[in-house]
């Protein structure tokens, strides 16, 4: 069964740093673009970042650009989110999310994303507080 498992959440002071990890299992990790989506307590979903299947391209939401860095290690089936200069408003559950890929004549197309999210992790809570 396809699974995503986040780790690395915790409490950090304003201005501090934290790195989240997400391990994928039961699928060909290197074929899929991976995202991070966050949800502040009692609030809605906010898209944070994407990294392409091969790590060649990365894009970020405006609120984290310049402070967060997404990366991946396809040998370890892991995607990371390095978060620096953290602010109180970064407090949220951070979900690791897989973007589905196109299947052509029954064959999955690595890197050919579909623009929707088919698998979500259980989330990692990050609390920024002094």
Partner 1 sequence: QSALIQPRSVSGSPGQSVTISCTGTSSEVGGYDYVSWYQQSPGKAPKVIIYDVTKRPSGVPYRFSGSKSGNTASLTISGLQAEDEADYYCCSSTGSYTWVFGGGTKVTVL
Q: Among residues 12, 20, 68, 121, which is the contact residue for partner 1, using CB under 8 A?
A: 121
Q: Among residues 7, 69, 84, 100, which is the contact residue for partner 1, using CB under 8 A?
A: 100
Give the x-and-dash track for 26-45 against partner 1 (CB under 8 A). Answer: ---------x-x------xx
- Residue 82 interacts with partner 1 (CB under 8 A)? no
Residue 73 CB, shortest distance to partner 1, in Å, is 21
Candidates 120, 59, 78, 77; CA nearest to 69 is 59
The tally of CA atoms less than 13 A away on the side-chain side of residue 94 is 31
Site stretch for partner 1 (CB under 8 A), options 20-28, 69-77, 80-88, 110-118: 110-118
Residues contacting residue 3 through CB under 8 Å, at least 6 positions apart: 24, 25, 26, 119
- Residue 46 interacts with partner 1 (CB under 8 A)? yes
């Amino acid at each position: 069964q396809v699974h995503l498992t986040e780790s690395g959440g915790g409490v950090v002071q304003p201005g501090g740093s934290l790195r989240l990890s997400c391990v994928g299992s039961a699928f060909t990790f290197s074929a899929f673009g991976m995202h991070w989506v966050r949800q502040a307590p009692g609030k809605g979903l906010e898209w944070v970042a994407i990294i392409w299947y091969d790590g060649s391209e990365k894009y970020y939401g405006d609120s984290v650009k310049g402070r967060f860095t997404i990366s991946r290690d396809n040998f370890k089936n892991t995607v990371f989110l390095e978060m620096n200069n953290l602010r109180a408003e970064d407090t949220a559950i951070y979900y690791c999310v897989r973007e589905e890929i196109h299947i052509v004549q029954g064959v999955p197309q690595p890197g050919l994303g579909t623009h929707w999210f088919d698998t979500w992790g259980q989330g990692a809570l990050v609390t920024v507080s002094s």
